[in-house]
Structure 1
Amino acid sequence: MDLQIDRAHGARIYDYLLGGKDHFAVDRAAAEASLRLWPALRAHMLENRSFMHRVVRHLAERGVRQFLDIGTGIPTSPNLHEVVQAVIPDARIVYVDNDPTVLAHARARMTSTPEGRTAYVCADAREPDALLSAPQLRATLDLDEPVALTLIGMLHFLTEDDLAHEVVRRLLDALAPGSHLAASIGTSEFAPIPLAEVQRVYEAYGESVRFRTKAEAELFFAGLEVLEPGLVQIHKWRPEPGAAPVPDVDIAMYGAVGRKP
């Protein structure tokens, strides 16, 4: 198994910033260099995790019983299936990532309820047809029924716009009407100067990122029925009652949920 420890990986940087233990020196170096340039990075990552929790809980409460999570990252409890299955115990979840480190931990930490199912697919989002045909996915999800496609903090690693839109289109095309897309999408619009430096740090350590404007982020939801409050900074998407205020300048992602008609 090639753990690619000679270059940073977004999943392992994320794990380090969330306080996890599954990362390498190159990931820690990239994270610490980024924090020096933009000290809000850790708070921003924690907000992204909170956004995921709120989104999938909301979708489960709407009756969505199947989830396809691409760009899963290293498991950090509560994981997506734990949030969803607390609402719908027999929900089915497929996790997808292309980092072998994630694979090494996924089976041990992503255990389903007895009523539901979880599965893990080691695949690259850049190859959606191969991902969708994976036996583990087909054995777990019924694509003739609605599925929630979650792309949380992943699309900014698809730096080519044509490819990113083709991936999202191909995935949505494979899903039944009534399915949902939930995504958080990196942006530098609220802190352009430090985030330009962070982008350079990531690239210097071997991980490319692409920040998008709000107008560019909205294109991923074209043709979908976008749920309220629309595309907003992630800390503004249905925040928990009484949540502490977060400065806009500390958040570098837009987020939204759209329903496929």
Structure 2
Amino acid sequence: MTDQPMNDGGLVAHGIDTTRPSVARVYDYALGGKDNYESDRALYRQIMKIAPETPVWARANRAWLREVITWLAEEAGVRRFIDAGSGLPTAENTHQIAQKVNADTSVIYVDNDPSVVAHGRALLLDNDRTQFTAADLTKPDEVLAEPSIAALLAGGEPVALVMALMLHHIHDYEQTLEIARKYVDALPPGSYLAITHACNPGDGGPVDVMVTELLEKVKDAFPTLAFRSVEQITSLFGDLEILEPGVVPLGEWHVPGGRVEEERQADIRDAIYGGVGRKASS
């Protein structure tokens, strides 16, 4: 399979349409990454006119991911990770964070964006403990049947499943709940589920007002985007034990036993909530 010229100069892997923006590549650009094209940057500029908070959310989510993966690898002793809907490889990816703690850690990234798969596999050519699986996380039966995923889960060791900033792209709540349930049911005892999700607290406060206005502005560009309530996000963990501090704004989240900044005021990070749940050991 040969590479072909791209509009920006250089080469692009076969099968990637650089003329159409990709959510993963837009997110990459928001984080200062290099794996994006003019179509992605044009969409990002449009988004910034509507929601200038976007890069703050992207950085806050990346900081959360760094804390969660480090804690899971160091304190919880997890050696098996699945990053579902991972997006493009940027700085401080799940495998880099986890394998820095233990080089024998196995990581599987799951994404159905051709850009993500192509760049991810190229990045990981020399890493035999990390794989990229081309699959759609909204189809858990197919994802769980993938040989690499099935083998990882069949080992019976605890697995950490990460679903960061992905489930809010599934508009139907009942469908989202069912997708999360199927993944949780498949996890071995002692496993973890880590989620970040767009939230509307629905309390009439400043965050409620901000996200209500935002949704109205972006509904045409992102028709499936769903800012869910705290209760709905919490329900995605099913019967898992939700670890402290619970399902909370990213500005308040901390690793179990850690501390949040004292007397903090609400800010735009509070439109994204995060939490970690643990499946009971058998």
TM-score (norm 1): 0.88
Q: What's the secondary structure of 1:228's corresponding residue?
A: coil
Q: Is 1:34 paired with 2:53?
A: no
Change (3 A) 1:193 1:25: farther
Tell me what 2:252 maps to.
236
- 1:7-59 CA-to-partner distances (Å, cap 9, x unmatched) read 54321221111111223444323322222233222111101011011001111
CA contact (8 A) 1:35 1:41 kept: yes
**Structure 2 CA distance for aligned equivalents of residues 246 and 46 of structure 1:** 18
Tell me what 2:140 maps to.
128
Bigger Rg, which one:
2
CA contact (8 A) 2:31 2:59 kept: yes
Q: Measure how far apart 1:118 and its partner are.
A: 0.7
RMSD: 2.6
- 1:175-230 CA-to-partner distances (Å, cap 9, x unmatched) read 11100000001114453444345445555346631111111111112311111111
Tell me what 1:147 maps to.
159
CA contact (8 A) 1:7 1:207 kept: no
Matching residue within 225, 229, 239 for 1:209: 225
**Structure 2 CA distance for aligned equivalents of residues 233 and 255 of structure 1:** 6
Matching residue within 238, 243, 250 for 2:268: 250
Aligned residues: 259
Counting only pairs closer than 5 Å after superposition, residues 118-197 of structure 1 correspond to structure 2 as: 118-140=130-152, 142-189=154-201, 191-197=207-213
Tell me what 1:223 maps to.
239
Tell me what 2:32 maps to.
19
Structure 2: stretches of 5+ with no match in the other structure: 1-13
CA contact (8 A) 2:192 2:278 kept: yes
Tell me what 2:70 maps to.
57
Q: What's the secondary structure of 1:204's corresponding residue?
A: coil
CA contact (8 A) 1:143 1:174 kept: no
- 1:139-174 CA-to-partner distances (Å, cap 9, x unmatched) read 555452210010011111111111111111111111
**Structure 2 CA distance for aligned equivalents of residues 27 and 200 of structure 1:** 22
**Structure 1 CA distance for aligned equivalents of residues 248 and 135 of structure 2:** 29
Greater alpha carbon shift after TM alignment, 55-64 vs 128-137? 128-137
Which amino acid letter does the alignment assign opposite residue 178 of structure 1?
Answer: G
Higher relative contact order (CA 8 A, sep 6+): 1
**Structure 2 CA distance for aligned equivalents of residues 85 and 217 of structure 1:** 29
